[in-house]
Amino acid sequence: MSVVLRLARAGAKKRPYYHVVATDSRNPRDGKFIEAVGAYDPNLNPPKVEFNQERLQYWLKTGATPSETVADLIKRAAKATPPTA
């Protein structure tokens, strides 16, 4: 089983909202997932990106592959929040 971190679309028509989920790569985009690890709301200015950092790091350490979009969101979130000691 290959685990990927990708976006699952939610929200209304023309008002997207995305959950960042850990899922089997064979599952459909909005299908069954293992765990929700974050959220992305592109409707706000600036877009809102939230992650459960503990669970995100767990999945990355266990070998989950982030999609291109999720990798970009992780970088954006890291820039927005200063690292804690």
pLDDT tens by residue, 65-76: 999 999 999 998
Task: State the total domains in the chain.
Answer: 1
> Over the chain, what is the mean pLDDT?
91
Indicate which CATH number applies to the domain containing 59.
Answer: 3.30.1320.10
Asked whether residue 14 is assigned to any structural domain, the reply reads yes
Token reading at 17 = 């909202």
Asked whether residue 34 is assigned to any structural domain, the reply reads yes
Asked if residue 17 lies in contact with residue 4, where contact means CB atoms within 8 angstroms, the answer is no
Asked whether residue 48 is assigned to any structural domain, the reply reads yes
Asked whether residue 85 is assigned to any structural domain, the reply reads no
Q: Which residues contact 53 (CB under 8 A, 6 or more apart)?
A: none
Domain range spanning residue 64? Answer: 3-80
* CA geometry: angle 53, 57, 60, nearest 5 deg: 140
Whole-model pTM?
0.86
